[in-house]
Amino acid sequence: MRLLFIGDVIGRAGREVVAERLPGLIGTLRLDFVVLNAENAAAGFGLTRKIAEELFALGVDCVTTGNHWLDQREILTFIDADDRILRPANLPQGTPGRGAGLFQARDGGQVLVVSPMGRVFMEPQDDPFAAVARELSACPLGEGADAIIVDMHAEASSEKMAMGHFCDGRVSLVVGSHCHVPTADAQILPGGTAYQGDAGACADYDSVIGMEKHEPLQRFTTRMPGGRFVPASGPATLCAVFVETGVGGLATRIEPVRLGGRLKQAMPET
What tens digit of pLDDT does each residue of 4-41 get?
999 999 999 999 999 999 999 999 999 999 999 999 99
Burial 39-66 (b: 16+ CB within 10 A, else e): bbbbbbbbbbbebbeebbebbbbbbbbb
- Least Cα distance to 17 among 268, 269, 270, 262 occurs for 262
pLDDT tens string, the chain, 270 residues long: the values are 999 999 999 999 999 999 999 999 999 999 999 999 999 999 999 999 999 999 999 999 999 999 999 999 999 999 999 999 999 999 999 999 999 999 999 999 999 999 999 999 999 999 999 999 999 999 999 999 999 999 999 999 999 999 999 999 999 999 999 999 999 999 999 999 999 999 999 999 999 999 999 999 999 999 999 899 999 999 999 999 999 999 899 999 999 999 999 999 999 998
Catalytic residue among 68, 153, 178, 180: 68
- Which residues partner with 6 through β-bridges? 36, 240
Measure the CA–CA gap between 84 and 105, rounded to whole angstroms: 12
The answer to whether domain 2-259 has CATH 3.60.21.10 is yes
- HSE-CB for 21 with a 13 A CA cutoff: 25
The yes-or-no answer on residue 68 being catalytic is yes
What tens digit of pLDDT does each residue of 74-86 get?
999 999 999 999 9
DSSP string over 197-209: S---EEB-SSSBT
Query: What pLDDT does 270 receive?
Result: 84
**pTM for the full predicted model:** 0.97
- Which residues partner with 69 through β-bridges? none
